[in-house]
Amino acid sequence: MAVRQVLRLGEPLLLEKALTITQFDTPELHALIEDLQDTMQAMNGAGIAAPQIGVSLQVAIFGVDKNPRYPDAEQVPYTVLINPTLRPIGDEIEDGWEGCLSVPGMRGVVPRYARLHYTGFDQYGNAIDRLVSGFHARVVQHECDHLNGILYPMRIADLSQFGFTDVLFPDQDIQDD
């Protein structure tokens, strides 16, 4: 469909709680997901949430094959996740670097739950129910935060580990978002 403009940090809509989807398998929902896919691919993102393209609905997509933005990252299956719920398993927290299409050119270390049970629906209304850990768990937490009006800089515990990607990682060819 179309690559959409991504809203950047500072935009009030990014701080809103997104509305629940009540009807699945509609032309409008499929069109939204196509736009999210096109935009995520064009920007080499690991995930994107509907509020980032200005649509305040509980829809996110994510997936990591081999991604130049995350050269060492584990693979994450491509997933459309709607109306998600997250429940941490245990209280183990892991630190890891994150970036965000709405915070271009920057990275920060964010503490996240290491293990997670998440549920939700795909665009056809099929239930999703997964136990995940590691990078998959991190990506889900990041995207679901977007649906609750939270951006990763708001989660950084140590702001000395937040900065511009090309300054933090001068020797790595990480694409500037």
50 is a site residue for Ni ion (CB under 5 A): no
Q: How far is the CB of 57 from Ni ion (least distance, A)?
A: 16
Dihedral of CA 69/152/103/44: which sign?
positive
Smallest gap, in angstroms, from Cβ of residue 93 to Ni ion?
19
Tell me whether residue 32 or residue 100 sits nearer to Ni ion (CB atom): 100
Rounded alpha-carbon distances, angstroms, from residue 154 to 27, 115, 145, 162, 164: 34, 21, 10, 11, 16
Q: Which of 11, 16, 74, 143 is catalytic?
A: 143
What the block records as the tokens of 122 is 């795909």
Q: What residues form DSSP beta bridges with 92? A: none
Q: Give min distance, CB of 175 to Ni ion, in A.
A: 15
Total residues at the site for Ni ion (CB under 5 A)?
1
Residues in contact with 22: Cβ distance below 8 Å, sequence separation at least 6, in sequence order: none
Nearer to Ni ion, 21 or 100 (CB): 100
Q: Is 143 considered catalytic here? A: yes
DSSP states of 12-62? GGGGSPPBPP---S-HHHHHHHHHHHHHHHHTT-SEEEGGGGT--BSEEEE
Other CB atoms within a 10 A radius of the CB of residue 10 amount to 10
CB of 96 to Ni ion, least distance (A): 14
Beta carbon nearer to Ni ion, 53 or 114:
53
Tokens standing for residue 101? 């299409």
50 vs 100 by CB, closer to Ni ion: 100
Window 73-112: contact mask with Ni ion (x via CB under 5 A)? ---------------------------x------------
Binding site for Ni ion (CB under 5 A): 100
Residues assigned a catalytic role = 143
